[in-house]
Amino acid sequence: MDLAFTQDEEDFRHGLRAWLADVLPTLPDRPDPADWPARRAYDCGWQRMLYDAGYAGLHWPKDAGGRGATPTQHLIFLEETERAGAPYVGANFVGLLHAGPTIAAEGTPAQRARWLPPILRGDQVWCQGFSEPDAGSDLASLRTRAERDGDSYVVSGSKIWTSHAEVADWCELLVRTTPMGPGTPKHRGITWLALPMDAPGVTVRPLRTLAGTAEFAEVFLDEVRVPVDHRIGAENDGWRVTMVTLSFERGTAFVGEVIACRRVLEALARTAKANGRWDDPVLRRRLGRIAAACAALWRLTQWNVSEAQRTGGVPGVGGSVFKLRFSEVRQELYEAAAEVLGPDALDAGHEWVADRLSSLSYTIAAGTSQIQRNIVAERILGLPKGR
Ligand SMILES: Cc1cc2nc3c(=O)[nH]c(=O)nc-3n(C[C@H](O)[C@H](O)[C@H](O)COP(=O)(O)OP(=O)(O)OC[C@H]3O[C@@H](n4cnc5c(N)ncnc54)[C@H](O)[C@@H]3O)c2cc1C
């Protein structure tokens, strides 16, 4: 990537900046984090504004309904929206950042035409039904069964930790279409389905986190009929499709948040200067180290985004390096925030306190740090597999 901006890119930046300056003041107040229907309405409303202005699916290929923007334009978009304090994807996280890109990469033309436009318009929200009570890190051990019956699969089983399932229309669902057995390794026999969340037999039970909100849910599936044409990729080839989904989830899905961390860091420095904690050289050094880590993560992001574009749009294994480091830096950031806040760090209503609690989940969600380290060791460093 050429790090100097072309005139086109500068024009793109200025156009976007002007649009943001116009529309952001017209947005309604941000909803209560505990009110998922209101959060969905807010996030989808913002997505619709992006769509109407031609900024939805900016870097998606044109034949998937996107704008086919260059990696540099994509990065400019992330920088400018974050700089202006625009909303992040929110409830559209799964649809925009990994289910949609997976369908764009692996779906048939009919599937792309069916599912991608409503995601881009903010009309339909997706969730992710991968993890099960006994299949998290070891995802390939999943047991939710899908039996073929004519033109449908009949699906039974349960999923857990399904983020915002109660407000989702669709679920990227992993099922087992061939039982595990001596002749069938567990990675085979898995299939990726688009599950309509309003299908008979789907029950969603929200789970409350230590922050007091229900961020995710258990999803129970009792003989749910899913049409065969809702399958993305071939039957029993779902593990390969899953790797595509996870590469988007780890590779590019968190990039906007790196810039958000830099903004929080600046705010921490301002607060520390105002409340006298800035005089502490240990704290200053700590904030400096986090700033350096954020700068390195942003460079890694630029590299990952360019690399994904160069290799046909699907991010590579470098996403695991990013995810590993980013999730840890985010925790360091909010630990530092607690120090800057002092006694106010006990105020559960403070935004940084809520973010500190949620930062704990970042080293677990989308694959734990231990799993990312295994991937880096085996697939990047070429070290032998652990036993
Ligand atoms: C905020 C949040 C949102 C989430 N949203 C979703 C969602 O929308 N959809 C979804 O499907 N899932 C979701 N998850 C689930 C997430 O993917 C799993 O929690 C994660 O993969 C870990 O699985 P587990 O919880 O079963 O832990 P386990 O797999 O049981 O792991 C327990 C511990 O053992 C370690 N461990 C396990 N295997 C190994 C190994 N081979 N080597 C070294 N250490 C190992 C792990 O690192 C961990 O520390 C979410 C999780 C969180 C925290």
The average confidence (pLDDT) of the chain is: 92
**Does the reported pTM lie above 0.85?**
yes
Q: Which residues line ligand 1 (CB under 6 A)?
A: 127-131, 136-137, 161-163, 215-216, 361, 364-365, 367-368, 370-371, 374
Alpha helices in 235-316 (DSSP H): 238-251, 255-275, 281-310
Q: Helix (H, G, I), strand (E, B), or coil: what is residue 171?
A: strand
- Report CA(161)–ligand 1 centroid distance (Å): 9
What pLDDT is attached to residue 28? 96
Mean pLDDT to the nearest integer, 158-165 = 97
Interatomic CA distance for residues 249 and 99, integer angstroms: 9
The 10 Å Cβ neighbour count of residue 287 is 22
Q: How far apart are CA 27 and CA 45, in angstroms?
A: 9
The SS3 assignment for 204 reads strand
Q: What angle do CA 75, 2, 120 make, to 5 degrees?
A: 30
| Residue pair 320/250 in contact by the 8 Å Cβ criterion | yes
pLDDT at 315: 76
Which pLDDT does position 230 carry in this prediction? 98
Residue 25 tokens, joined = 């003041």
Q: Is the pLDDT of residue 374 over 90?
A: yes
Q: What is the pLDDT of residues 29-43, one digit of tens each?
A: 999 988 999 999 999
| Ligand 1: centre distance to CA 274 (Å) | 40
- pLDDT above 70 (res 252): no
CA angle 39, 42, 46 (to 5 degrees): 140
Pocket test for ligand 1, best of 161, 355, 357 (most atoms within 8 A of CB): 161
Q: Which tens digit of pLDDT belongs to each residue from 200-221? A: 999 999 998 877 788 899 999 9
**In the Cβ-directed half-sphere of 142, how many Cα atoms lie within 13 Å?**
33
Give yes or no: 249 in active site: yes
- Residue type at 180? M
The predicted model gives 324-353 an average pLDDT of 94
Instruction: Determine the Cα–Cα distance for residues 380 and 317; give it in Å rounded to an integer.
Output: 8
Mean pLDDT for the stretch of residues 157-184? 95
Tell me how far the alpha carbon of residue 129 lies from the centroid of ligand 1, in angstroms: 13
Q: Set out the domains of the chain in order of their start, with CATH numbers.
A: 7-88 (1.10.540.10), 127-236 (2.40.110.10), 254-380 (1.20.140.10)
CB atoms near residue 360 (< 10 Å): 15
The residue whose C-alpha atom lies closest to atom 16 belonging to ligand 1 is 365
Q: Is the per-residue pLDDT at 383 higher than 90?
A: yes
263-312 tens-digit pLDDT: 899 999 999 999 999 999 999 999 999 999 999 998 888 888 777 777 77
CA–CA separation, 322 and 300 (whole Å) = 7
- Report the alpha-carbon distance of residue 240 to residue 351 in Å, rounded: 39
Q: Report residue 350 as tokens.
A: 């403070």
Tens of pLDDT, residue by residue over 218-246, are 999 999 999 999 999 999 999 999 999 98
Confidence band for 387, pLDDT divided at 50, 70 and 90 = low
CA-closest residue to ligand 1 atom 40: 371
In this structure, the residue with its CA closest to atom 23 of ligand 1 is 136
Q: Which residues pair with 147 in a beta bridge?
A: 154
Report how far ligand 1's centroid is from the alpha carbon of 52 (Å).
37
pLDDT exceeds 60 at position 70: yes
Least confident segment among 77-81, 179-183, 305-309, 357-361: 305-309
Tokens of 53: 């202005």
As a whole number, mean pLDDT of residues 106-119 equals: 97
Residue nearest to atom 27 of ligand 1 (CA): 136
How many whole angstroms from 94 Cα to the centroid of ligand 1?
17
| 161-182 CB burial, b ≥16 within 10 A, e <16 | bbebbbbbbbbbbbbbbeebee
Q: Whose CA is nearest to atom 37 of ligand 1?
A: 137
Confidence of residue 13 (pLDDT cuts 50, 70, 90): very high
pLDDT value, residue 256 = 78
Ligand 1: which of 368, 379, 385 to mutate, most ligand atoms within 8 Å of CB?
368
Q: How far is the CA of 306 from the centre of ligand 1 (A)?
A: 29
> Is pLDDT larger for residue 282 or for residue 259?
282
Mean pLDDT of 109-119: 97
Q: Which residue among 9, 249, 335, 351 is the active-site one?
A: 249
Q: What is the dihedral of CA 300, 306, 310, 314, to 10 degrees?
A: 70
Residues 6+ apart with CB under 8 A from 330: 257, 261, 359, 362
Nearest to 92 by CA among 62, 54, 121: 121
